Amino acid sequence: MKRIYAIATGCAIGLAALQYVQPASSQNESGWVTLVDGANMGDWDRVGNADWTAGADGVVATKLDGKDLAYLVSKKPYTDFQIRAEFWTDADANSGIFIRCDNPKVIDGKTCYEVNIFDKRPDPSYGTGAIVDVAKVDPMPKAADKWNTYEITAKGQHLTVILNGQKTADVDDSKHAGGPIALQYGSGVVKFRKVQIRPL
């Protein structure tokens, strides 16, 4: 009788343990991977040289070391995904989030989709909120001197960009199928406080 009681008790404990574990696994099912979080710069490859540092405002760059633009490039490639990114720039900043880059060592608007952060771009139709040479924005929103949130979705040929809750780009394009993402520094002050990606 004692043996049956012990087995029953063991089963009950086992079931309780399974029930306890399930909430943690369901939290993981959301699938979000954090690439930058607060003062943590994360693990990136670098193309070009900027003074990237990690601090209270996240990952910050304020100047280039050389003439070439600088990028933090993800070590993994992504095909279909969502990105959530919190960023801050000053009025003189030239930055952006590059996605589906063909070559992780050559990052630009021809080898990737460039989701722009550039309030002073000479042609504002491809400035902040636009996908350069793919999806124009009209009117161009301004991002300078405040914290902003980008939500970028790439699923098949369909690309959407939402800036601070407002959709700024919605387009179908098939030039780039997949590849790493990259955070750009070109000029001004650029801060990325949090960057997350979720494969779809």
CA dist., res. 61 & res. 117, Å (int): 14
**Model confidence band, residue 50 (pLDDT cutoffs 50, 70, 90):** very high
pLDDT 10s digits, 89-134: 999 999 999 999 999 999 999 999 999 999 999 999 999 999 999 9
Range 32-199: architecture per CATH: Sandwich (2.60)
pLDDT for residue 172: 98
Gap between the terminal Cα atoms of the chain: 53
Residue 29 DSSP code: T
Side-chain-side CA neighbours of 122 within 13 Å: the count stands at 0
| The model's pTM | 0.85
CA dist., res. 166 & res. 164, Å (int): 6
| Domain residue ranges in the chain | 1-30, 32-199
Residues in the chain: 200
What residues does 95 pair with on adjacent strands? 117, 185
The whole-chain average pLDDT of the chain stands at: 88
Burial class of residue 86 in the structure, from the number of CB atoms within 10 Å of its CB (0-12 exposed, 13-18 middle, 19+ buried): middle
